[in-house]
A = this chain, B = another copy of it.
Amino acid sequence: MPKKLVETFRVEWLQVLDEDGKCDEALRPSLDDDQIKRLFEWMVLARTFDEKAFKLQREGRLGTYASILGQEAGQVGSAFALRPTDWMFPTFREPGASFVRGLPVRMVLQYWAGDERGSQIPEGLNDFPITIPVGTQIPIAVGAALAAKAKGDDVAVMAFMGDGATSKGDFHEGLNFAGVFAAPVVFVCQNNQWAISVPLRRQTAAKTLAQKAFAYGFSGVQVDGNDVLAVYRAAHEALHRAREGKGPTLIECVTYRLGDHTTADDASRYRSQGEVEEWKKRDPIERLKKYMDKHGLWNKSYDHAVHGEAKEKVEQGVSEQESLPPPDPRDLFRFTFHELTAELNDQMERFVGTDGQRDARE
């Protein structure tokens, strides 16, 4: 047959809670009441942290910081589906996910305060430090997944990325690699509509980001990224497939960056407040709250307690971070290689002979 159909694809959209918190019971993931409360609590912590971090930066107590306001569900819902033994590769906009994993608030602040010790992930926590060069964590995550597979470990890997990252060669090479070797990895793309000032339509002519998965022979799904239950469901299913040896999945979380790109950015230069207001209505925390309220999982006093605890945790982290001794200048050299080379040792000693010393005296 001269002109025949050789392949067809479908991209589906998944939503469990609508904007009024109405739940599609058929799609509701199997989470017990406590777990749903945890999701709520993690999202509140993420937002509480975000507000504080923003303030700290404005007060000059923190360096450049990338807000996660409005993206709490995509981070918490996906990370909540991971097991402690799994590995996670966050971008610079995933503190919410890192908290779920167990990274201390103190360390996230430490990193943004310009201290490498904030990336010294605690032993036992299988998370990669934040990656700044967009998309470059993707092939690394695939490598970790293939290593786990090669060693026969019952481990899945979750790699986060933004919509902008989908334009990077590393996204392509990493996902293609994962497809070819059926790597146990889940790609979570936080489509927050913007890459700094570049809108999604300038990032790709594709209608969805989920469809990019078909280029690599595995499936992609588009999820309401402000619906924590939908995100959890998609992540849970994808991780299950990964563990079953069924290969990778691309999850596109459709969400929105409510804040500026970072504290160094002014989004009013390139986008309308109207668009922002529209998205504010889709607040992921409000949505889950409505659902919990309907099901008697939420009330004012619980809400008050949750916010109180979150505030406490964050303040605790702030004072921990701010009471840390400054890093030792010698750390500049010490971790370049397993052992200091002769040349690095010379450089360190010459240096300690000048600035280092003087600074030590200060």
Contact B217–A215 (Cβ < 8 Å): no
Write out the residue numbers on chain B whose beta carbons fall within 8 Å of the beta carbon of A6. Answer: 11-13, 207-208, 222
A7 at the interface (CB under 8 A from B): yes
Write out the residue numbers on chain B whose beta carbons fall within 8 Å of the beta carbon of A216. Answer: 204-206
Task: Name which of A7, A179, A222, A247 has the most chain B CB atoms within 10 A of its CB.
Answer: A7
Contact A205–B222 (Cβ < 8 Å): no
Q: Report copies per complex.
A: 2
Cα–Cα, bound, A204→B4 (Å): 22
Interface of A is mostly: mixed
Say how far A25's CB is from chain B's closest CB, in angstroms: 10
Which of the 9-residue segments A83-91, A126-134, A164-172 touches chain B? A164-172
- Within A245-277, the residues touching B (CB, 8 Å) are 247
Write out the residue numbers on chain B whose beta carbons fall within 8 Å of the beta carbon of A75. Answer: none
A218 at the interface (CB under 8 A from B): yes
Cα–Cα, bound, A65→B113 (Å): 56
- Give the total of A residues in contact with B, Cβ under 8 Å: 47
Q: With CB as the reference atom, state the residue of chain B lying closest to A17.
A: B2
Write out the residue numbers on chain B whose beta carbons fall within 8 Å of the beta carbon of A2. Answer: 14-16, 18, 24, 26-27
A244 at the interface (CB under 8 A from B): no
Contact A169–B179 (Cβ < 8 Å): no
A92 at the interface (CB under 8 A from B): no
Cross-interface CB contact of A205 among B9, B12, B179, B203, cutoff 8 Å? B179
Cα–Cα, bound, A222→B4 (Å): 10
- Within A212-250, the residues touching B (CB, 8 Å) are 212, 214-218, 222, 247
List 15 A-B pairs, Cβ < 8 Å. A3-B12, A3-B27, A7-B207, A8-B8, A8-B9, A8-B10, A9-B211, A167-B172, A176-B204, A180-B201, A180-B203, A180-B204, A211-B214, A211-B215, A212-B215
Residues of A within 8 A of B (CB): 2-16, 18, 24, 26-27, 167-173, 176, 179-180, 182, 201-208, 211-212, 214-218, 222, 247
